Structure 1
Amino acid sequence: MALFIFRSIPMNTYELDCPAVPFETVGKTVAQVVSRIEQRLRKAELEPEWVVAANWIDDANDSLHGLKADALWPVVVEGESRLCLSVAIGRSEGWLVQIDHVRLHKAGDGGHWSSVALLRIKTLTRTHAWAVAAAMSRLLEID
Structure 2
Amino acid sequence: MAGNPIDALRRVFFVYGEITMQLGQAVFGQKDLAARAVAASADAIAVVPSAKIDTDGKTVNQVYGALWACLSRTELEPEWLSLANTRDHPDEYAYGARHARMWPSQFMFDRLSVSVCIGNSEGWIIHVDWVTRPEAEDLERRYAMMPLLRAKVFNRNQAWDLARLIAHKLDVA
TM-score using structure 1 length: 0.80
What SS does structure 2 have at the residue aligned with 1:135? Answer: helix
> How far is 1:112 from its partner?
2.4
Q: What residue ranges of structure 2 are gaps of 5+ in the alignment?
A: 1-47
Task: Please report how far the alpha carbon of residue 42 of structure 1 lies from its aligned counterpart in structure 2 after TM superposition.
Answer: 1.5
In the alignment, the residues of structure 2 paired with residue 66 and residue 137 of structure 1 have an alpha-carbon distance, to the nearest angstrom, of 19
What is the CA-CA distance between 1:86 and the residue it aligns to?
0.7
Q: CA RMSD in A?
A: 1.7
- Matched residue, 2:69: 39
Partners of 1:125 and 1:41 in 2: how far apart? 16
> Pairwise mapping of residues 20-99 of structure 1 onto structure 2 (< 5 A)?
22-77=52-107, 79-99=108-128
Deviation readout 1:89-142 (Å, 9 max, x if unpaired) = 111211100100011111426332211000001111111111110101111122
Which structure carries more strand by proportion? 1
Q: Count residues in correspondence.
A: 125
Distance 2:155 2:84 in 1: 20
Identity among equivalent pairs (%): 34
More helix by share: 2
2:168 corresponds to = 138
Letter in 2 for 1:102: V
Distance 1:42 1:18 in 2: 11
Larger RCO, structures 1/2 (Cα 8 Å, 6+ apart): 1
Distance 1:18 1:40 in 2: 7
Per the TM alignment, residue 18 of structure 1 is displaced from its structure 2 partner at its CA by 5.2
- Equivalent pair of 1:87/1:98 in contact (CA under 8 Å): yes
Query: TM-score under structure 2 normalisation?
Result: 0.67
- How far has the Cα of 1:62 moved from its partner? 0.6
Give the number of the structure whose alpha-carbon radius of gyration is greater.
2
